[in-house]
Structure 1
Amino acid sequence: MRTSSVLLLLFSAVGAQAQDRTTEAGDAGIEDPDAECQSYYYAPVSNAMGSFPTIRANVTSILANDTVGQQKFLAMNSSIPNIAPRGTLGGDFSQVTYDQAADPDCWWTQTQCVTPKLADLKPDVASVPEPRTLGYGFDDGPACGHNRFYNYLAEQNQKATMFFIGSNVMWFPLEAQRAVADGHQICAHTWSHPSMTAATNEGAFAELWYSIQAIKLVTNVTPTCWRPPRGDVDDRIRYIATQLGLETIMWGFDSFDWEAGTNNITTDTVQGNYDSLMAKAGSGAFDGIGAIMLTHELNNYTMQTAMDNYPKLAAAFDHLVPIAVAQNKTQPYVETNYSMPSFADCAYPL
């Protein structure tokens, strides 16, 4: 069944009882994750589906009816760095040979390089400039059952940076709208979460382009930042992102919450990673410059783990703020009718 057809379906009468799935505020009142994760009809998304790729499918080309996207890509294509795609979109690089010592492409997956080799590309953001500050953020949203998590953040008067997958935004638009309504910063996280260095030039462009368009359609803001899935980025992908007005946001520490239960990563491992970050803060490691840790809005486990660790993070750091606030970027979007506080004016008490 095509996604456009799925989006036209109302969820069952039982699930719909006493629920308002027509407004962001009404949707935010649903605290049962199972009920919140029922699909629902949202006219702006349903009416626009012909202008977007299939939900959750990797994007390998620009849609034939997207003349704006085609023209934008053609304008940059000849200047995109001549770096061949490698590996698979699913993140398998086992057959790839790469000179890690020379690292000609600043390929993060192999070397954790965040300073591009290509002239005129800005370094990735892997830390924040404010001392004893955690740039607080979460990948892979909007999670369909995130209201309890967002309620918790609201109770703490805590804002964060949310890296949204375009497909998820289209699938659960009211959840995406809540992030803006609650004062969180939104960045792009591609359309379908592929390993970007495996994509062709056009595929990489399309993954970013349609994630930007989805966020704009649903939330009325255009992001100026993005995070590569799995951190997989090189100078070719950085260049494409830069041409789309996106700053690349990475991290210095990884909770591995997304991997819990696989690849020998246990919940104890994840908690140990949180504890290690907080121990570093206590030792003075961030007295000169702040930190960014990779955490996720992915599922109930990752969100509950974030809530469990929040009081301890708040005690370990002087400030927990969205990355834009830690960068003193008061205009986080292309649109100028929305602003965030400067770091000095930050109103998030800890």
Structure 2
Amino acid sequence: MVAGLIATLAACGGSAGNVAPMNAAGAVTAPRPVTLREPDPDARRGLSPEFTRVNCAVAKCVALTFDDGPMEESDKLLQILARYRAKATFFVVGRMVEENPEILHREVADGHEIANHTWSHADLTSLSPEGLRAEIEKTQAVIKQHAGYDATLMRPPYGATNARVASAAKEFGLAEIMWAVDPLDWQNRDTALVERRVLAQTRPGDIVLLHDIHSSSVDAVPGILAALAERGYKFVTVSGLLAGTSVEPGRQYRDRAAT
């Protein structure tokens, strides 16, 4: 099942190299060790130890979001986020949750937000009404099964949406979450470039698009967190970012200001 989805994700930067490594006998091997640099003490003071207490109406907030997992790189990312005490929102693909439920369990246990990114990463605008609905509904069900709650946010793959997609999102009580910052990390697998683009584009209240299926993107996260923290940013989930604003199912949101 994973191999088929990897092909589907190709246009969004998916590759066979993101599948968990296997040995000659076909058994999944242990993930590679992760080496992280200790955050600068001054930068760490800029991070919120309890993201739910952050009032983004007055604080300098940013929401980092990660699409297309959970996969091996998602697990590495969780270690980085935990070291920096940052919260994020994971827009998960339903089939990948089915393949890697234990990673989603860790995302939930660490206090991150889980949101809907469809079942198979299909372009929703190209589907029949029945197919569109199934893509959303099946992922809602698997999130409820493994996260224990109903997702309230969704992101259409490729950002492809129209009136039919908005109507289906509204039916399931889902706001459509787009982004204000896109470093094109699926296209340019260059850690330093991804980091520079995020730091150059990010403004208070922004939603940042990244993909946790690419090691180059995950490796950019420590530098992004450290630099933005030095500028006084708090790292919150999308729901935390939009808290206190009027968020309606079926409507699009790219940042806090637009609400």
Q: Same fold (TM over 0.5)?
A: yes
1:291 paired to 2:206:
yes
Residue 345 of structure 1 corresponds to which residue in structure 2? Answer: none
**What's the secondary structure of 1:254's corresponding residue?**
coil
2:91 partner SS: strand
Distance of 1:234 and 1:316 partners within structure 2: 37
| Unmatched tracts of structure 2, length 5 or more | 4-21, 34-55, 245-259
1:277 aligns with 2:201: yes
1:158: how far off?
1.2
Task: Look up the match of 2:236.
Answer: 321
Q: How far 1:253 sits from its partner (Å)?
A: 1.6
Corresponding residue for residue 179 of structure 2: 251
Q: 1:306 to 1:205 in 2, by over 3 A?
A: same
Provide closer, same or farther for how the CA distance between residues 31 and 158 of structure 1 changes in structure 2, counting only shifts above 3 A: farther
Q: 2:144 aligns with which of 216, 223, 228?
A: 216
Three-state SS of the structure 1 residue aligned to 2:115 is strand
Structure showing greater relative contact order (alpha-carbon pairs closer than 8 Å, 6 or more residues apart): 2
Question: 8 Å contact 2:72–2:213 — kept in the other structure?
Answer: no
Query: Equivalents in 2 of 1:212, 1:241: separation in Å?
Result: 11
CA distance in 1, matches of 2:128, 2:114: 26
Deviation string, structure 1 residues 137-165 (Cα, Å, up to 9, x no partner): 21111122432221111121111111010
Of all paired residues, the percent bearing the same amino acid is 30
Deviation readout 1:153-200 (Å, 9 max, x if unpaired): 112111111101001000111011111111001000000111111111
Asked if the contact 1:130/1:326 (under 8 Å) is kept, the reply is no
Deviation of the 1:272 alpha carbon: 3.7
The within-5 A match list for 1:97-108 is none
1:23-68 deviation digits (Å, cap 9, x = unpaired): xxxxxxx6537xxxxxxxxxxxxxxxxxxxxxxxxxxxxxxxxxxx
Q: Is the 8 A contact 2:2 2:96 kept in 1?
A: no
Cα shift readout 1:294-317 (whole Å, capped 9, x = no counterpart): 111122111112223221122234
Q: TM-score, normalised by structure 1?
A: 0.53
CA contact (8 A) 2:191 2:217 kept: no
CA distance in 1, matches of 2:170, 2:232: 31
TM-score w.r.t. structure 2 length? Answer: 0.70
Distance 1:250 1:178, change over 3 A: same
**In 2, distance between residues paired with 1:257 and 1:147?**
18
Per the alignment, residue 340 of structure 1 pairs with none
Equivalent residue for 2:60? 132
CA contact (8 A) 2:191 2:220 kept: no
Instruction: Please tell me whether the aligned partners of residues 177 and 219 of structure 1 are also in contact (alpha carbons under 8 angstroms).
Output: yes
Aligned AA (2:78): Y
One of 146, 156, 163 as aligned partner of 2:84: 156
Q: Which of 294, 298, 312 is residue 227 of structure 2 equivalent to?
A: 312
Which one-letter code corresponds to 1:299 in the other structure?
H
User: Residues of 2 paired with 1:157 and 1:326: CA distance?
Assistant: 16
**Residue aligned with 1:146, SS:** helix
- Indicate conservation of the 8 Å contact 2:104/2:146, yes or no: yes
The whole-number CA distance in structure 2 between the counterparts of 1:268 and 1:311 is 14
Letter in 2 for 1:318: Y
Q: Are 1:32 and 2:32 counterparts?
A: yes
- Matched residue SS, 1:136: strand
Count of paired positions: 204
Paired with 2:31 and 2:215, the residues of 1 have a C-alpha distance of 12
